[in-house]
Chain A
C-alpha cells in the first residue's frame, strides 16, 4: 500500500488540498489527480522538458518533483498561464508560425520561453536557443519556435519603449 500524505498547495491561483500517494511525481499528480493534461509525461528523467512547470515563480521539471515537495508551493501549468492571458501574445506568435507539429513539447516550450520574454538585456537567437536547450522538440520545429519567442520579445520591448 502506497504511503499517502495530505498535500496543500496553490494550483493556478487556487488553494488546493488533497490526500495523495507520496511517490507520485508532480506531472502524474497534476494529470491524474487534478485532471490537467497540459504538463506532459515523456522522458520522466529530466531530459526533455515536456513536463515543465512554474513553481514559486521559477521553472521546474514536473517529473523531478515528488508530490510532497509541492507542499506550500505556488504551481502554475499552461492551463493557468493561458487563463490569465499572461502569454497570449507568445501563444499567438506560435500559432501564426505553426511553431509545433505534434504539440507534445509546446506547453513546456511556452512556460520556458515565458521566463525570458521580459528579460531587459538584449537576447540574440543563440541566447534564446540556450535558454530553450532543456526542452526537446522531436519534430525539429526549433526554427519556428525561436522565431516566435524572438518576435514576442521584440514586440514587448517595442511596447515598453512606446509606453
Chain B
C-alpha cells in the first residue's frame, strides 16, 4: 500500500523540532530513520498530517564517553555501532546484540534511539538498555529542560515508554562497563534478522555470576529482568535459575508459538547465555 498524504517538515535543531511538534500537535510525528514508521505509513496504520524530519539534527548523532558513561545520540544509526572502538571498550554487549538487529539494509538507516523510542517488546536495544542500566535522556516542548529516565522506568508496556506524545529522545547514557565484564546476547528467530521469538541480553562482572543482569525480550509487553532468576543463579546455579524463570515468565503466544513454547525457549536461552557468560561456549 501507499502512505496517505502528509506535509514534510524539516527541523534543523532540537528547538525547531519541538516548536514544530507543538504547532502541529497530535497530527504530527517525528521521523528519523523511518524504518518502523514508514512501514506503518505504507500500511496506513498511521496517517499523520505532518512528518517532522529530525534526521538532520547534528546534536543527536554520535557516540562519545562522558564522565564514565558511554553516550549514544538518539539518531546514531545501528550500523554506526559496527566496530566502534568506544562501544567495544565500554559496552561490548551492544556489539554482541548488533548482528541480530534487523538486516544490513535496515541497520544502515534505522536509528538506535528510534528503536528505543518505539519499544517493540521483541527488539534488542531496549533489553540491552535494561541489562546495562542505561538512562534515557528526553526533552519536551514545555520548557522543563532535559529529563533523565532510567531504563527500569522508561519501558512501560507494549510500545509504551516514558516519552510523552510531544517528547523527543535525545540520547542514551550507559555506565561504562569495567574491563573483563562478561556479556551474552542471544536470540531465536524464524529468519535471521527478524524480530526475536525470544531473546536475552545479559551481563556480569565475572564468571561467578553473583551479579548477573539478565534481560529477556519477546517474553512480555516490554523487556524484563527477573530478580528471582538472577538471585537463584547467584546462589544455587543455572538449574534453579531456569526453574525460577519457568515460574516467573508468562509470555504471550504469537501467531506461530504458544506461551508454553516461548517459556521453554526462554529457558533454553537462559542456559546458553549462562554458558556464554561463564566462557564455556
Contacts and interface: CB of A to CB of B under 8 A. Distances in A.
Asked if A and B bind, the verdict is yes
Contacts of A68: 8, 10, 53
Contact of B38 (A2, A64, A112): A64
Nearest to B43: A45
Interface in A124-163: 129-131, 133-134
29 contacts: A2-B5, A3-B6, A3-B8, A23-B2, A23-B6, A25-B3, A44-B39, A44-B43, A45-B42, A46-B35, A52-B105, A58-B105, A59-B104, A60-B105, A60-B109, A61-B105, A61-B106, A64-B109, A66-B8, A66-B31, A66-B51, A68-B53, A69-B53, A130-B99, A133-B193, A134-B102, A134-B104, A134-B105, A134-B193
From A2, A25, A115, residue with most partner B Cβ within 10 Å? A25
Interface string B158-187: 000000000000000000000000000000
A49 interface: yes
B55 to A, nearest CB: 7
B4 A23 contact: yes
A23 B3 contact: yes
B106 to A, nearest CB: 7
B104 A61 contact: no
Contact of A25 (B31, B38, B99, B191): B38
A17 to B, nearest CB: 17
Interface in A12-34: 21-23, 25, 28
A46 B192 contact: no
B38 A59 contact: no
Contact of A64 (B5, B6, B39, B55): B39
Given A60-B108, A66-B8, A131-B104, A46 B39 contact: yes
B67 interface: no
A162 B106 CA distance: 36
Interface of A: 2-3, 5, 21-23, 25, 28, 44-46, 49, 52, 55, 58-61, 63-66, 68-69, 112, 115, 129-131, 133-134
Q: Which 8 A-B pairs have the closest CB atoms?
A: A134-B103, A45-B39, A59-B105, A133-B192, A22-B8, A58-B108, A64-B38, A68-B8
A69 B6 CA distance: 14
A150 B99 CA distance: 21
Nearest to A130: B192
B95 to A, nearest CB: 16
From B31, B53, B104, residue with most partner A Cβ within 10 Å? B104
Nearest to B192: A133
DSSP class of B's interface residues: helix, strand, loop or mixed? loop
A85 B232 CA distance: 60
Contacts of B108: 55, 58-60
A22 B1 CA distance: 15
Contacts of B6: 3, 22-23
A2 B51 CA distance: 14
Interface string B120-132: 0000000000000
Contacts of A44: 1-2, 39, 42-43
From A21, A68, A69, A130, residue with most partner B Cβ within 10 Å? A69
Contacts of A28: 2
Nearest to A64: B38
A147 B168 CA distance: 46
Nearest to B39: A45
A131 B107 CA distance: 12
Nearest to B4: A23
Nearest to B34: A64
Interface string B183-206: 000000001110000000000000
